[in-house]
Amino acid sequence: MSARGELRGWADVALIPVLNLVVALLVSGIVVLIIGESPMEAMWIMLKGAVGSIKGWSYLLYYSTNFIFTGLAVAVAFHAGLFNIGGEGQAYIAGLGATMTGLGLEFLPWPIVIPLAVLMSALFGAFWGWVPGYLQAKRGSHIVITTIMFNFIASSLMVYFINYWLRPVGKMAVESRAVGNFDFSTFDLTGAYIPSLRELSLAIFGYRLPSSPLNPTFLFALAVAWAVWYLLWRTKLGYEIRAVGANTDAAVYAGIRPQKIIMVTMAISGGLAGLLAVNEVLGAQHRLVLEYVQGAGFVGIAVALMGRSHPVGIVLAAMLFGLLYQGGTELSFAKPEINRDMIVVIQGLVILFMGALEQTFRPWLEALFFRAED
């Protein structure tokens, strides 16, 4: 039904998400109430913890950086009509690229190693996205199935690599050696170590910011978001990606080869997910830790849904999830009764209402609007 009434732009992009968020928070509030805590207080702690201090903001932005990358990865694939739920595995494998570059080329100066490590993160992730893309294009294996499978394969492979290749002998924790080092008193930067903003501010201005893993990768993520927008709406490749996603028959008619676009798109998508390694491995942990992605790949799906697969929306949605993560941490500090599992429930509710039930209020809102317009 193409003639169906459609909401005005602002209501569509702003009002519906806000409404969904409010409902999600209300339901979360009921859950908090059930376990005997005050929802208003919990909400206040979350908000204050996430946006009430420089420290809160730093963590918020640090988490958002991960979600921007994985959200963009999912969104680019969406535009080609592909549901890439393998961001988790692509980011994980990318960690290997980042780490191997950092450790293998440690002797080179950082202006060379860091860009190389970033590139390798993207390439490793791209490869892990390209393979399911290839299987879909040439063998017709459904991308949802293959990308899930590739998450498991990545997980097993990485256990092997980290345990038997990267873990220093005798070290208990399953993680690699540090990829570099930074001494802020002498500004001595080695390897693929991206210093945190706190370290940079200490080194350059001598000013002590609150400690957080926030690092310049956040700015890089914003640049990448812009680049994705440019790719999709201002390049011929982006046009072809969107054409295949919107209408494969029309794309074929236009001489676009969907198989090629599927592979290219999945590689781009995987590469974007891979950039998560830049933030986590190079910028925050400075080492490759077992299972370091910690679900950020899946959060990316919710972020892309909520952000309407548009980079601006994705940045905003990623920040909302950053807020939930950081606010949730502060909440479990302040209220041990609301433990980390409760936080996951609250985050899950937000995903449910913003993603899966995203359209719930649309008909109702449409009816309201059209009545009002008469």
Partner 1 sequence: MTPSTTPAIELIGIDKRFGPVHANKDVTLTIRQGSIHGIIGENGAGKSTLMSILFGFYQADKGEIRVKGQPLKIRSSSDAIAHGIGMVHQHFMLVDTFTVLENVVLGAEGGALIGPALAKARETLTHLSQDYEMDVDPDAIVGELPVGLQQRVEILKALFKGAETLILDEPTGVLTPDEADHLFRILGQLRDQGKTVILITHKLREIMAITDHVTVMRRGELVATFETKKTNVEELAEAMVGRRVLLHVDKSPAKPGVVVLDVKNVTWKDKKGIARVDNVSFNVRAGEIVGIAGVSGNGQSELLDVIAGITRPASGEIIFEGKSIGQLADPRHLREEGLAHVPEDRQHRGLISSFDASESGILGWHYDESLGHGFRLDRDKVVARCTKEMAEFDVRPGNPLLKSSKFSGGNQQKIILAREIARDPDLLIVGQPTRGVEANERELGLRMAGVMREAA
Partner 2 sequence: MIKKLLGAAALTALMAVSAFAADDKPAIVFDIGGKFDKSFNESMFNGSEKFKTETGVAYGEFEIANEAQREQAIRNFADQGYSPIIAAGFAQAAALEKVAKEYPDLKFAIVDMVVDLPNVQSIVFKEHEGSYLVGIMAAMASKSGKVGFVGGMDIPLIRKFGCGYVQGVKAAKADATVFQNMTGDTGAAWNDPVKGGEITKSQMSQGADVIYAAAGATGLGVLQAAADGGALSIGVDANQNYLHPGKVLTSMLKRVDVAVYNVMKSGKDGSFKGGVQALGLAEDGVGYAMDDNNKPLVTPEMQAAVEKAKADIISGAVKVHDYTEDNKCPVE
Between 136 and 196, CB nearer to partner 2: 196
Number of residues that make up the chain: 374
Radius of gyration of the chain (CA): 22
- Cβ contacts of 255 within 8 Å, gap of 6 or more: none
Under DSSP, is residue 19 helix (H, G, I), strand (E, B) or coil?
Answer: helix
257 binds partner 1 (CB under 8 A): yes
Kindly tell me which residue out of 206, 234, 336, 372 binds partner 1, with binding defined by CB under 8 A: 234
Between 267 and 343, CB nearer to partner 2: 343
Kindly tell me which residue out of 41, 183, 188, 337 binds partner 2, with binding defined by CB under 8 A: 41
233 binds partner 1 (CB under 8 A): yes
Kindly tell me which residue out of 69, 92, 128, 292 binds partner 2, with binding defined by CB under 8 A: 292
- Cβ contacts of 171 within 8 Å, gap of 6 or more: none
Give the whole-angstrom CA distance, residue 228 versus residue 151.
Answer: 24
Give the angle 123-61-310 at the CA atoms, nearest 5°: 65
Which does residue 160 touch among partner 2, partner 1, none (CB within 5 to 8 A, set by kind)? partner 2
59 binds partner 2 (CB under 8 A): yes
250 binds partner 1 (CB under 8 A): yes
Residues 117-156 that bind partner 1 (CB under 8 A): none
Kindly tell me which residue out of 83, 127, 239, 361 binds partner 1, with binding defined by CB under 8 A: 239
Q: Among 108-116, 220-228, 287-295, 362-370, which window interacts with partner 2 (CB under 8 A)?
A: 287-295
Under DSSP, is residue 361 helix (H, G, I), strand (E, B) or coil?
Answer: coil
CB of 308 to partner 1, least distance (A): 13
Give the whole-angstrom CA distance, residue 123 versus residue 270.
Answer: 8
Give the whole-angstrom CA distance, residue 175 versus residue 280.
Answer: 13
Q: Among 3-11, 53-61, 116-124, 207-215, which window interacts with partner 1 (CB under 8 A)?
A: 3-11
Kindly tell me which residue out of 249, 336, 341, 359 binds partner 1, with binding defined by CB under 8 A: 249
Kindly tell me which residue out of 40, 145, 237, 250 binds partner 2, with binding defined by CB under 8 A: 40
Q: Where are the alpha helices (DSSP H) in 140-216?
A: 143-161, 197-204
247 binds partner 1 (CB under 8 A): yes
Give the whole-angstrom CA distance, residue 87 versus residue 128.
Answer: 9
Kindly tell me which residue out of 20, 25, 28, 63 binds partner 2, with binding defined by CB under 8 A: 63
Q: Are the C-beta atoms of residues 251 and 258 closer than 8 Å to each other?
A: yes
